[in-house]
Chains A and B, each alone.
Chain A
Amino acid sequence: MEIPEIVGAGLIVIGAGLGIGRIGGSAMEAIARQPEATARIQTAMLIAAALIEGIGFAALFAK
């Protein structure tokens, strides 16, 4: 049985979604604990999210 490529792309996108969700959630917790570090946490969060997002898009286009 052949598995279509789009299933692989879907799996990667699910992974990317979970990853970005985790980053967002952790950043929220961190900000709640240390509101004064909000700016720095947000920056780090955006960079990490952007890197994962890149993989997600690459999967979509490699499909």
Chain B
Amino acid sequence: MISKITASFALTGLLFFSSPVLAENHAHEDVHQEESHAETHNEAVEAHGQEHADSLGEDADGQDIKAAVKETIAHHLADSYEFHITEGVGFPLPVILLDDGLKVFSSAKFGHGHSVAEIDGNHYVLHHNKIYKTDAEGALSFDEHHHPTNAKPLDFSITKNVFMILVMAVFMVVLFSRMAKSYGPEKTPKKAGRFLEPIVIYVRDEIAIPNIGEKHYKKYMSYLLTVFFFIWFLNLVGMTPLGINVTGNIAITFSLALMTFIITQVSGKKDYWMHIFWMPGVPVVLKPVMAIIELIGLFVKPFSLMIRLYANMLAGHVVLMSIIGLIFVFGSWLVSPAFFGLTLVLSLLELLVAALQAYIFTMLAALYFGSAVEEHDHH
């Protein structure tokens, strides 16, 4: 027992310890990248490149470390066309564009954003992590805000986030179908099931049944469990130093909120709609006012689901990485143990937040489903 605890503690420590080391690699590399960026894009992006070159021109402990830290954080949070693990380690992912027919090619063609990808006579270039259509030289034209005016093809690429969602989907299907099969006639869980069964039962007994009710809860269990484990696992994967930030991406939380919204509206019963459009038990004068407020509330609910998960995960990542970044800004070994300790404590807090956000999302989804299927026995 004690050796187990020691082992897991050592493992956790190792995991956390690796993050500053990786951050260091990132910071170095980003400085390199920026330098080469400034050189290659000099003609097309003269004004912009000049800015970068200027900030790099200053001395080591000045502006450029801060800029590098900012770049690293932005790079960590952004979705990308390649799976970048650490310096020189990573693999390209497929780019899928819909532009006069389907164009599928490997993101290695972009050469980390330095070269023009050519496919079937069409040229594409990567600028600030977005794909633009261009000519053979890769020239981009800019408006006064330094935004490219080139056409953007419809993008269905398997980016890092999409890749992680697919990996997680496969992982969850394998994990839970194996768990379901492992139940013998004696109905006791085995292996991973010993850990997961209490959580599944918790979602059923503490989230689904109290909020939806004995009568209807079974229909929604599959969705609630899927959402719970999907968010939780992805939050946990986001805590590893791999630079994965799936639940901190507003497009993904939007999809999750949209699914919740659709399920709520589709399962809405007579009482649910009556409580929105003709609230019983209030004076007739107030009923239209209440209807407007309830109608707004209908859309605010999924909106807040989306923002809450997105902002919580994003804020967690930004705070953690900023504190790691402070080590490089101060550049002294005297302060780094303090920041390392702070990072360790905040990482533990983030582990709690990872589970808490999954719980809150599932809980509120169950609450909304519950309000949709509720049957009132007044009048």
Interface residues of A (CB under 8 A from B): 39, 43, 46-47, 50-51, 53-55, 57-58, 60-61
Contact = CB atoms under 8 A, between A and B. Distances in A.
B307 A58 contact: yes
B165 interface: no
Contacts of A55: 304
B308 interface: yes
Given A47-B363, A47-B364, A50-B360, A58 B206 contact: no
Contacts of A53: 308, 312
Contacts of B308: 50, 53-54, 57
Contacts, number: 34
Contacts of B305: 54
Interface in B300-328: 303-305, 307-308, 311-312
B206 A43 contact: yes
Interface residues of B, number: 15
Contacts of B311: 57, 60-61
A54 B304 contact: yes
Nearest to A39: B206
B206 A51 contact: no
B304 A46 contact: no
A4 to B, nearest CB: 21
B360 A46 contact: yes
A46 B307 contact: no
Interface of B: 206, 210, 303-305, 307-308, 311-312, 356, 359-360, 363-364, 367
A53 B333 CA distance: 37
A8 B304 CA distance: 19
Contacts of B303: 58
Contacts of B359: 46
B367 A61 contact: no
A57 B206 contact: no
B367 A47 contact: yes
Given A53-B312, A57-B308, 19 more contacts: A43-B206, A43-B210, A43-B363, A46-B356, A46-B360, A46-B363, A47-B360, A47-B363, A47-B364, A54-B305, A54-B307, A55-B304, A57-B307, A57-B311, A57-B312, A58-B304, A60-B311, A61-B307, A61-B311
